[in-house]
A and B are shown apart, each in its own frame.
Chain A
Amino acid sequence: MLNIIIYITLGFMFTGIFFSTLRFILGPTAADRTVALDTLTTIAMALLVLLSFVYNRFIYIDVALVYGVLGFIGVLVIARYLEGAL
Chain B
Amino acid sequence: MNDILDIFGMILLLIGGIFLFLGGLGIFRMPDTYNRLQAGTKATTLGGMSVILSVGILEPGWFIKTLVLVIFIALANPISSHALAHANYKRGNKPYLKGGPEYDQYRKVFEPEVKETKDNTTEKVKEEETA
Contacts and interface: CB of A to CB of B under 8 A. Distances in A.
Are chains A and B touching directly in their complex (CB below 8 angstroms)? Answer: yes
Contacts of A45: 48, 52, 69, 73
Nearest to B49: A46
B91 A83 contact: yes
A31 B84 contact: yes
A53 B37 CA distance: 29
How would you classify the secondary structure of chain B's contact residues: helix, strand, loop or mixed? helix
Contact of B16 (A18, A46, A72): A46
B91 A82 contact: yes
A55 to B, nearest CB: 12
Interface in B63-96: 65-66, 68-69, 72-73, 76-77, 79-81, 83-84, 86-88, 90-91, 93
Contact of A16 (B20, B80, B86, B90): B20
Interface residues of A, number: 48
Contacts of A49: 51-52, 55, 66, 69
A31 B93 contact: yes
Contacts of B86: 79, 83
28 contacts: A1-B10, A2-B10, A6-B13, A9-B17, A13-B20, A13-B21, A18-B24, A20-B23, A20-B28, A31-B88, A31-B91, A35-B81, A35-B84, A38-B41, A38-B81, A39-B24, A43-B44, A46-B20, A46-B52, A49-B52, A49-B69, A52-B55, A53-B55, A76-B83, A79-B80, A79-B84, A80-B83, A82-B91
